Chains A and B, each alone.
Chain A
Amino acid sequence: MSTNTNDKTDQAAGLLLMGAAGFFGWQTTGLEIGTLFRMGPGYFPMILSGLLFLLGAVIFLKSFGRPGEPFGPIAWRGMMLILPAPIVFGLTVRGLGFVPALFLATLIASQASVRMRPAAALILSVAVTILSTLIFSYGLGLPFRLFGPWVQF
């Protein structure tokens, strides 16, 4: 039997929601609220932030004295490698160009699985890059710069 009598999942969810509500509420302070007749840009967001905070608080308070379910396994390796892939693509697509940026992003993402061997990852990334360039750039005619200023000699 677990000695843990609080629902950790709901506790975290409640805190997170209150945090989000706090952020939106704080951002609303700089906006004009207006009146019910002529609502300013801050009126509706202010109501929503308040409501979100309230809901977060209810979820948080209800979590006490109630056994929770475990979080289960967390995909740390996945998060460390999957999430940076679009960021790397975004940071390099202008400078390096579409081809190298896509190759890098695919290579990084492919490392998220423990089963992927280095050689297979390289082959896969090259194949994805070539095929995507053919489909999107030549086939669909999307205006991507294939090689950017960083790799022009």
Chain B
Amino acid sequence: MDLLSNLAMGFSVASTPANLVFCLIGVLLGTLIGVLPGIGATATIAMLLPITFQLEPVSSLIMLAGIYYGAQYGGSTTAILINMPGESSSAVTAIDGYQMARRGRAGIALATAALGSFFAGTVATFLVAIFAPPLTVIALKFGAAEYFSLMVLGLIMAVALAHGSVIKALAMMVLGLLLGMVGTDIYTGAPRFTLGITAYADGLNFVALAVGLFGIAEILRNLEVEQTREVMTRNIQRLMPNRQEFREMAGPVLRGTGIGSVLGILPGGGAILASFASYTMEKKLSKHPEEFGHGAIAGVAGPESANNAGAQTSFIPLLTLGIPANPVMALMIGAMIIQGIVPGPNVVSEQPMLFWGIIASMWIGNLMLVVLNLPLIGLWVKLLTVPYYVLFPIIMAMCAIGVYSVDNNTFDLYAVAFFGLLGYVMSKLRCEPAPLLLGFVLGPLLEENLRRAMILSRGDPTTFLTRPISAGLLLAALAVLVLVFLPQIRSRRDEVFTEADG
């Protein structure tokens, strides 16, 4: 079996002592920062990104993937214990998880989240291993026009799945594309939008943008009102679910894994959609729908599994096409490019050790999370009691060091302050930063492929429609856009997001 020998190679790469240590450090650091209230996975990865740059490409990506799972796990911990989801995908967990905690079942909720995630992660890892290689074969047939159309589809999906106003999300995406243009033009070498500052000739620093938009803006938001939090620490008594509870969570976990795996592949933030979809489905299927919102175990098991499965399968478009499915994958692309790897279909054939090593490390990372975090829950809970005013100066110091260490460029630090301000203003104006980040990452690729496609077709714009794959992708993008603007769907979409906010 090709698959098995490939997986075996992956595990041999991922289980070298050094890589195991990096995976462990990543998982621990990710959980550590992810547990800090109000900081989601994206902000966590943005802040920890720079410390991985000194490592070998494989180790660095393994560590980053570990940080990702850790941060997600940490996010659900805060969602359950203090009703403060780190990011939108764990917002659903907070609804029933927090209610479980208030009823003295915090330990069970945490264990359910961890076990459900582990199961989903295991299944999704295999799905990635099975589906990624054949997809790369298709992806190799992609020309410039197809890539352009695919990226348009990805961007439109990101817009459709963003919170709030669609037009604002669209505008954010375009702004991100424009910010991605800053720097030297690849074809002519002409400097663009640099305001004469040579330090920006290589483009705006991606880490600075991400840290500012997600990390610093988050801190500012948390400083608006300095309230005290109610931490559900005193009533963690029992961790392991009993037989009855295992039976109750089996169905939701299985269904959640299924939904999550499928939706995670969709470009534009499938993992978030997955947890919403799973919650709605469990509520519909349940014999006791009235329990939802009051501590139903299915309301934690389903969405958490869906979320984790989606997080895993969102690596498929990244590893096969080099297209990020969500802001976290956009950060991964940034990391790969800094490591000198061009993400795309060639990774699997040119760097099989890297490709399969990452896939194997996903499973190892998930295993570590279950083994380590269930016993360590006490420690994470203690961390929640550390006051915020002690935490954020530490985070600021980390941000400054992290951004500076990428290039030793002081202008990147000024950019961090600027993007921190921009991110905060955007959140005050109810604009989502996620489409902007995706636009920023995809901007240069989008332009390059557009220009190449135009040169290949001798300036004929119909090339995007006469090539079947490209036309299909553009049609899908158009359909998504039309759907989002349909009044019926629009109210449904608002409903879903308000339910999550409430």
A residues at B contact (CB < 8 Å): 9-10, 12-13, 16-17, 20, 24, 27, 31-32, 35-45, 48-49, 51-52, 55-56, 58-59, 62, 69, 71-75, 77-79, 82-87, 89-91, 93-94, 102, 105-106, 109-110, 112-116, 120-121, 124-125, 128-129, 132, 136, 140-144
**CA of A132 to CA of B138 in the docked complex: distance in angstroms?**
47
Q: Which residue of A lies closest to B216 (CB)?
A: A82
In the complex, chain A residues whose CB is within 8 Å of the CB of B170: 55
| Contact yes or no, B220 A79, CB < 8 A | yes
Q: Besides the contacts A72-B224, A79-B220, A125-B393, what 4 more A-B pairs have beta carbons closer than 8 Å?
A: A39-B451, A83-B417, A113-B226, A128-B393
With A13-B429, A89-B400, A136-B405 known as contacts, the answer to whether A128 contacts B394 (CB < 8 A) is yes
With A41-B188, A112-B223 known as contacts, the answer to whether A140 contacts B54 (CB < 8 A) is yes
| Contact yes or no, B396 A113, CB < 8 A | no
In the complex, chain B residues whose CB is within 8 Å of the CB of A91: 410
Whether a CB of chain A sits under 8 angstroms from the CB of B458 is yes
**CA of A115 to CA of B222 in the docked complex: distance in angstroms?**
14
Contact residues of A: prevailing secondary structure? helix
With A37-B454, A86-B413 known as contacts, the answer to whether A109 contacts B171 (CB < 8 A) is no
Q: Which residue of A lies closest to B428 (CB)?
A: A71
**CA of A129 to CA of B401 in the docked complex: distance in angstroms?**
11
Q: Which residue of A lies closest to B420 (CB)?
A: A83
Contact pick for A45, options B192, B399, B408, B417, CB 8 Å? B192
| Contact yes or no, A87 B454, CB < 8 A | no
| Contact yes or no, A89 B216, CB < 8 A | no
| Contact yes or no, A36 B414, CB < 8 A | no
**CA of A20 to CA of B181 in the docked complex: distance in angstroms?**
14
| Contact yes or no, A77 B429, CB < 8 A | no
| Contact yes or no, A89 B404, CB < 8 A | yes
| Contact yes or no, B429 A9, CB < 8 A | yes
| Contact yes or no, A113 B454, CB < 8 A | no
Contact pick for A90, options B396, B405, B413, CB 8 Å? B413
Contact pick for A32, options B190, B390, B425, CB 8 Å? B190
**CA of A142 to CA of B424 in the docked complex: distance in angstroms?**
31
Among A62, A102, A121, A142, max chain B CB count under 10 A is at A142
What number of B residues sit within 8 Å (CB to CB) of A? Answer: 66
| Contact yes or no, B192 A142, CB < 8 A | no
Whether a CB of chain A sits under 8 angstroms from the CB of B51 is yes
With A90-B404, A105-B397 known as contacts, the answer to whether A82 contacts B220 (CB < 8 A) is yes
Contact pick for A17, options B175, B417, B424, CB 8 Å? B175
Among A12, A79, A141, max chain B CB count under 10 A is at A79
Question: Would you mind naming 18 contact pairs between A and B with Cβ atoms under 8 Å apart?
Answer: A13-B431, A38-B455, A38-B459, A41-B190, A44-B181, A44-B451, A55-B171, A58-B167, A74-B428, A83-B216, A83-B421, A86-B403, A86-B414, A90-B412, A91-B410, A116-B393, A132-B398, A136-B405
**A80 CB to nearest B CB, Å:** 11
Whether a CB of chain A sits under 8 angstroms from the CB of B294 is no
**B270 CB to nearest A CB, Å:** 25
| Contact yes or no, A59 B168, CB < 8 A | yes
**CA of A73 to CA of B183 in the docked complex: distance in angstroms?**
36
